[in-house]
Every structure is written in C-alpha cells, then in structure tokens.
A and B are shown apart, each in its own frame.
Chain A
C-alpha cells in the first residue's frame, strides 16, 4: 500500500470490489471507497442496495467476488473474520442469551486470553461507558431494548478494536429512544476516536451521526460526501429524492451558461437552475427543489417567479405544508414557517411563489 501515496491516509479501502451471489447479478458493482482513520462513515441506501453486503464483506462473513479490501496496509480478503479484529454491532444485537451481560462483554477478552483481573476491569469500564454499571449480572432478556442496544455497543468496543461496524443497530428501537441512542453513539465515537462504519436505511440517522455518508443504490455509491453537501448539493436525482423532501419538475434544457442553465418544463414554464448533472442543450432533466426554499408571496423579486394553485393546506404546528399545482406538477410542496402572523392562504386560490436559482438543481431525469 505504501506504493500508492494517494491512499496513505485510508484506513479501510475497497478497490474495485464486486459481489455476486448467483453468478448472474452483481449486488455490488465496482465499489471504490476509502475510509480515513477515526472517521464515522455511514452507508445509506434502500434495502437491496448492497450496503449490508459491503459491511459483511468488510467483516469477513461474505467473500468479495472480485477486487481487494484493505484494512490498514494489508489485504484482508483471505483473513477469516475472527482474525480481523473488527468490532461489530448486529441488527438484533446478537447478545448471547445464555450468558449474563458481564459474560457477554467478557467473551471477546476471554478468547484473546486476557487475564481475569484485567477482563473484569475492562468489562466494568465498558459497562460504565454505556451507563449500565449495575447491570452486569443480568441476562440480556431482562433488559429493555435500549439497554440491550447499549450492551451490544459496549461489547463491540470492549476489546478496543480500531474499527467498529454497525449494521442498522437502532432499527428495533422506537423513535424517541433511537434519537437518544444516535447522540450516545456519536459521543462514544468522538470520545474514543474509533473508526465507525455504520449501515442504515434511515436518512435522519445518517445525517445526524456521520462525518461522511455514502448513498448506495443498485450496488453503486451514488454520492459520497458530508451530510450537509448531500442535502444541499445532491449529485443526482436519486440522492435528491432519497435525502430529505424534494419537489420534482421535469423539463428540457434550452440554454446552458457557465454554472446555470435554463429549463423549459413540460407545460412550458421557463426556469433557471444550477447546472449539476446536465451536459447539453436538449437534455431531458429533473429539477430538484427543497420545499422549505420556496417563498410564498416573495417580498422582492426572485430568479424564478411563478403562480401556483393551492390544493391543500396541512397544519403541522411549526410549519404549514402547502400542496399546490406548479408548472403542471400537482404534488408540489411548499413549507411555510409558522411565525404566528396570519397568512391568508385559502385552498383553491392562486398564490405567487418564487425561489432563487441556487436552490434548484438541474439533475438527471428521475425515473
């Protein structure tokens, strides 16, 4: 690895990795991914997108069909899972039901022949880290879902691995607990400086916790970037659609300047948008626009100004969702912040709306 300086900082590295289960279809297509030491990287994607397969290949439970996976500076393709030294948190925790919590935590230390006294200290420290110091003698079945989750995290960390994999660890928890655990895992990561590869299909989870997010679809990484740029600058219509809420307007590129382009929508409305994923005049494109960037009754002139017919108003407390027909799209959503002042929004009436060019992106045509 030292021979290729570009990857000097990469702690985990996938190069040209492919995976097929049946010899006919590729589940993972040509994966190239570098993960830095200490990074929190999330693999995000719908089910069947190949993200869990990638994790399993990294953990060693699935062999890569082609390509190399490096951990540190050695290829681990032929290293069995128990010699990789990677901690893992499983979807349903996989806490050993016939052992107490302390025995569960001691297990990775025992198989490493750590001394008895040292094991006890480490187990207790790990339990305290997840605030379960008093629970060592309980059985996993006697713990609540959230507590089991913490034990699973503690068990994956107790033998001080450099890399921890988490496979949808919060999937079984209810919403409130999930949010709380997101912060806890994030803090543990920050305190220990361990490298985490996290798999989830929940975009909120990915945005909350990660340094970088790899959005998977159809066995390919669609975009790999920070949560912020994932939301602000989606590179294609899949990412725009998958992360956050999104208005889609289909049309054709009529003019391209340096960074922007002009798009004529299907019903003839002309819009200005950032040029992201279009190449030439005449390309079919989908414009992506976040609902909260739409201004109703804009006080000053904006780049894009048009009329929309209000179809439906939904009161949500902190904001009001306005569903309207804009440029032929009847599913167009605008979010109006609830500032306490009275707004004369009436269903069936026409309202003026506007947004700036930089808020809407011309992407590839959404399927």
Chain B
C-alpha cells in the first residue's frame, strides 16, 4: 500500500491515519457486542463476583475486635505479654468504657463468639461480663473485672485480644492449615488436633481416584460412540445423558439403596453365595461409597469431551497405520491414543474440578471417612458460623485448583484441551 518503507502512518484518502479510521469503524461494532453481553455481565457481577469477593475477603477481615473495643486495643498496644504480668488499670478502664458502649448495642456477644474461635471460654466471658458492666462503680476497674469473672486475670485471654486487635489477620488461614500463632511464632497444632490438611489431602486423593475411574470407564464408551453408525450412537448418547435428566439427589439416594448393607447389591451377593450373610460388604458411608456414587454422577462429563474429540479423529489415521504394518494395538496406542489426549485432558480437568468441590454426594454417602473439604466449609458456613475460616478454606481450595491448572498447563498445555 504505502510507497517506500517510510515510517509515516498510512493515511486514508481523506488524510486521516488509517488506524484511527479503522478504530472508528470498528467502535460501533464493539459497542454493539458489549451491549449484547452487558445484561449478563452486570448480573454476574452483582450476584456472583461481588458476593464471592466479599466472602473471600472475610478470610482476612477482622474488624470486629478493633471496632467493638477500640480503646482497649489502643491501650494494649504498649503492653508486653511476655513479661507475664496482667495489663494495668488503664486498660481495664478502657475495657469498661468500650464494653459500656458495646452492651448498649449488644455487639459484645458477637465479639465473644469471634474470640471464642481463638480461645474457648471467650464467649461466656463476654456474656457474663456484659451482664455485670452496668453495675460496676467508677474506679478500680481491674478488681471489679476480676470479680466479675476471674478469666480477666488469665493472661491468655489478654494475649488473644491483643493479637486479634488488628483489622486484618492471618489467623483464619493458619487455622485452615492446622496451625496457630501462640504468641511466640507460628506452630502446627498437635497431630491429634489436625483436621484440615488431612481433609485437603483426602479431597485430592478421592478426586484423583474419581477422575481415574471416570477415565477408565468413559474412554471405551466414548470410543464406541465415536466409531459406530450415527443413528446408534445418538441413541446411546441419550443413555449417557439420561442421568442429567434426574435430580442429583435422586441418583445419590439410589446409590444408598443399592450399596447399603441390606441393599440390593449385598442381597444379590449373599444370594449367589459369594459372600456370607455375616460378611456383607460395607460400601456406603465410607470412601468406597463416595467414589462409586461420584464416578457415576460425573461420568458424562468425561464421556462428552472424549467423544467430541474422538469424533474428529478420522478413521483413515488408524487405517493408514494398519496399511503400514501396525497391528491393532500399535495403531491404537501410537496413532489413535495420542490424538485423543486433548479429550482426556478436557474430561479429566472437568471431572477433577467438579469433584474437588463436590458437596451433596459425599454428604449423603460419604459417612465420616468419605467427606470432602467442601463439607467442612459448609459446616463452618451453616453450623459453626465461623465464616472467616470457611472463607479461608475456600480461598485455599481455589488456590489449589489454580495451581493444578498451572501445572497442567506446563505439562500438557492448556491449548491441548478440546471440548469439541
């Protein structure tokens, strides 16, 4: 277009730089495209992204202590717990002033529950003190507080209050990895109190097991579907998709009926004499139950990407391999299988990520040994109401998935994933 290799921008007939003109021409189209997605974008932003961001923020947010007893926190800042001495009278006076305000707005109980996550007894301490606070006389607060509850003379409580006086805390995250800050550095909890790391490990292990069994069961089916007549494969595909048309709850409950000790499968095995009546297999309320039920539920997510990738592998590749002297197995393993890897990648990622955050099925058939980290998160959200810890666990789960994505991208390559 442009004469010579000059650096001057290419101009249109009217003297406007070509790039500017092009952008102007495309602006309308871009605006139109944006307006088309705008409703969905706003919907997702308001109902999904913002609540999740808020929720995740709770994993570090800790405003309640500083908001409820600001003067106490301030006066505690020049108290050194390592001396082993209780804070002085001014701190108790500040606490009295803070709690007087807090009791009026009844926020002291919430503060109590919050601190109770860190040290047990804090909840009752604040409730009890709250009832006495109005009756306290002016002056000599330390004595009166100690009289109201002798825990005020325990340095451990003061240490916790001081430690969590900051607006942001890593406490939830430490908790989520079974560690705590005892005042002299971060330490892991004793072995018998550890739970979350173990649960994360189990979640990973079960998710990998489920992904592998989905792959082993799904690959032959997808292969069959991709290599038979379209009419038959359509029919079989409906059978594969059939589980999608029944509720997840119904399917999981069906497994309960099948797998329990007085259930169909055990009855059948006893009837055939393969196992004795006393030796009925325990297949539910444990890891076996979780793996079986979740493999069944997630199988279509493995089959569909595999099928759509296999569908694109022309049969002439295998034929070509055979014409060159490869037997059936070599032709499959060296020619067909490598070309189906993008489908395996897509299916495995899909199944793994779905299963790592699965909740209902482990809850119903997992018993105690088959539950996932998500069940623990749900417990903290709805039962213990420790949302901060739930959020921290959620952030860690999210980070884990991201790391796995990254590793997968490094090893297999993310553009090797094909969903069809």
Given A82-B328, A90-B319, 11 further pairs, Cβ under 8 A: A59-B319, A81-B319, A82-B325, A83-B325, A87-B323, A90-B320, A92-B316, A94-B317, A96-B335, A97-B339, A111-B327
A85 and B316 form a contact (CB under 8 A):
no
Residues from 284 to 305 in B contacting A, C-beta threshold 8 Å: none
The count of chain A contact residues (Cβ–Cβ below 8 Å) is 27
Q: Which residues of A contact B325 (CB under 8 A)?
A: 82-83, 85, 108, 111-112, 159
Q: Mark A305-341, 1 if CB is under 8 A from B, else 0.
A: 0000000000000000000000000000000000000
**B314/A82 in contact, CB under 8 A:** no
Contacting residues, chain B, for A107 (C-beta < 8 A): 321, 324, 326, 334
B326→A82 contact, CB < 8 A: yes
B interface residues, how many (CB within 8 angstroms): 19
Bound state CA distance, A278 and B321, in angstroms?
Answer: 49
Asked whether, in the complex, the Cβ of B316 is within 8 Å of the Cβ of A155, the reply is no
Chain A residue, CB-CB nearest to B341: A98
Residue numbers in A under 8 Å from B339 (CB-CB): 96-98
User: A96: which of B317, B322, B323 is its contact (CB, 8 Å)?
Assistant: B317
Q: Once bound together, how far apart are the Cα atoms of A321 and B323, in whole Å?
A: 47
Residues of B within 8 A of A84 (CB): 323
A155 CA to B331 CA, complexed, in Å = 15
- B320, B324, B327, B328 pick with most chain A CB within 10 angstroms: B324
Max chain A Cβ within 10 angstroms of own Cβ: one of B320, B328, B331: B320
Return the chain A residue nearest B327 by Cβ.
Answer: A82
Give Cα A56–Cα B419 distance, bound, in whole angstroms. Answer: 32
Contacts known (A92-B314, A98-B338); A82 close to B320, Cβ less than 8 A: no
How far in angstroms is the closest Cβ of chain B from A58? Answer: 11
- Which B residues are within 8 Å of any A CB, using their own CB? 314, 316-317, 319-328, 330-331, 334-335, 338-339
A88 at interface (Cβ–Cβ under 8 A)? yes
Which of A80, A87, A111: most chain B CB closer than 10 A? A111
Contact A81 B338 (CB under 8 A): no
Once the chains bind, are A88 and B323 in contact (CB under 8 Å)? yes
Instruction: Return the chain B residue nearest A81 by Cβ.
Output: B322
| Residue contact A82 to B323, C-beta cutoff 8 Å | yes
Given contacts A96-B335, A111-B330, contact A82 B317 (CB under 8 A): no
| Smallest CB separation, A54 vs chain B (Å) | 15
State the A residues within 8 Å of B (CB).
59-61, 80-88, 90-92, 94, 96-98, 107-108, 111-112, 155-156, 159, 165
Report the Cα distance A96→B323, complex, angstroms.
13
Determine the chain A residues whose CB is within 8 A of the CB of B324 once the complex forms: 82, 87-88, 107-108, 111, 155-156, 159
Q: How far is the CA of A360 from the CA of B338 in the complex (A)?
A: 59
Give chain B residues whose Cβ lies under 8 Å from the Cβ of A165. 323
- CB within 8 Å for A88 and B320 given contacts A94-B314, A96-B335, A98-B338: yes
In this complex, what residue of B is CB-closest to A86? B323
Q: Which residues of B contact A112 (CB under 8 A)?
A: 325
Tell me if B319 and A61 are in contact (CB < 8 A).
Answer: yes
A82 to B325, CA, bound (A): 4
How long is the Cα–Cα vector from A83 to B331 in the complex, in angstroms?
A: 13
Contact A111 B326 (CB under 8 A): yes
Complex Cα distance A91/B319, Å? 12
How long is the Cα–Cα vector from A96 to B330 in the complex, in angstroms? 14
Q: How far is the CB of A44 from chain B (nearest CB, A)?
A: 21
User: How far does the alpha carbon of A88 sit from the alpha carbon of B326 in the complex, in Å?
Assistant: 13
Q: How far is the CA of A82 from the CA of B328 in the complex (A)?
A: 8
Shortest Cβ gap from B311 to chain A (Å): 15
Nearest-CB distance from A311 to chain B (Å)? 47
* Bound Cα distance A97, B334 (Å): 12
The residues of A that contact B322 with a CB separation of less than 8 Å are 60-61, 80-82
Residue of A nearest to B318 (CB): A94
Nearest Cβ on chain B to A147's Cβ, whole angstroms: 17
Interchain CB contact under 8 A, B321 and A59: no
Q: Which residue on chain A has the smallest CB distance to residue B316?
A: A94
CB-defined contacts of A86 to chain B, threshold 8 Å: 323
A94 CA to B319 CA, complexed, in Å = 9
Contact A59 B323 (CB under 8 A): yes
Give the chain A neighbours of B326 by CB distance below 8 A. Answer: 82, 107-108, 111
Docked complex Cα distance between A61 and B321 (Å): 12
Using CB atoms, name the residue of chain B closest to A84: B323
Taking the nearest CB of chain B, how far is it from the CB of A362, in angstroms? 44
Q: Which residues of B contact A82 (CB under 8 A)?
A: 322-328, 331
A81 vs B327: C-alpha distance when bound (angstroms): 9
